[in-house]
Amino acid sequence: MKSLTCVAALLFFTNLAVADEKLPPRVVRVVGTAEVKVVPDRAVIELGVEKQNASARLAKQFADATARAILADLRSNGIDEKDIQTTSLSLQPQFNYRKGLKISYFVAEETMAVTIRDLSKLDSLLESLIKAGGNRIESIQYETSDLRKYRDQARDFAVKAAREKAQALAKALGQEVGKAYSIEEVGESAYQYSGLLSNATYEVSKARAKPAPTTAAGERTVSASIVVSFDLN
């Protein structure tokens, strides 16, 4: 009988230990977010050339000739080779569906991405490239050359925001927060402005004696979001 009582007591305390292990940790879990405003110091423009001709060979030749002129113009404006990259190259037939899919002409296109490290030269460079024969400007994307530094700043601010939020929640319950139990970053997002520019924009600016800038870099927002669990005392 005594042995049965000992076994029952042992099972009771074992169950208590297991139940205690299953208890969730006493934590307060919060999300801290922060944003850092950054003025861009460089731009990446995507531009190129499009030529049409009834002959595929001639369409490609005309596009190649203009692409060479654009590359020469970029180099003469001090753009480094590492800042010029061809992003697309195509030659496609255009069909006349009213005449039974007969080929009307061919379109040759070449697009390149160019990094401009001196934004004060952006407008004049675009005008120069259009004079060189560029007739496609797809977009302008503004960037900062020290993005890592601003991302780190945003993370630091997000962590501080998470702690402040956790402290406020704990205080409302009459408690305090202790050390961090866990921490996790919820992705990284950086918002940037981009826009489309047309040839007409530059035709208008040529007529002015002292043309005002037609582009604006604005600000870029670098954000961070951190999920932190703190011990709840």
User: What b/e readout covers 99-124, taking b as 16+ CB neighbours within 10 angstroms?
Assistant: eeeeeeebbbbbbbbbbbeebeebbe
65-77: pLDDT as tens digits:
999 999 999 999 9
Residue 2 is predicted with a pLDDT of 47
Per-residue pLDDT band at 188 (split at 50, 70, 90): low
156-176: pLDDT as tens digits:
999 999 999 999 999 999 999
Residue 88 is predicted with a pLDDT of 93
In CATH, the architecture of 24-39+145-192+217-233 is: 2-Layer Sandwich (3.30)
Asked if the model's pLDDT at residue 34 lies above 60, the reply is: yes
Q: What percent of the chain has pLDDT over 70?
A: 79
In CATH, the architecture of 42-143 is: 2-Layer Sandwich (3.30)
71-106: pLDDT as tens digits:
999 999 999 999 999 999 999 999 887 777 788 999
Please give the Cα distance from 21 to 15 (Å, whole number): 10
CA distance between the termini of the chain:
44
Query: What are the boundaries of each domain within the chain?
Result: 24-39+145-192+217-233, 42-143
Residue 85 is predicted with a pLDDT of 95
Instruction: Count CB neighbours of 227 within 10 A.
Output: 15
Per-residue pLDDT band at 194 (split at 50, 70, 90): very low
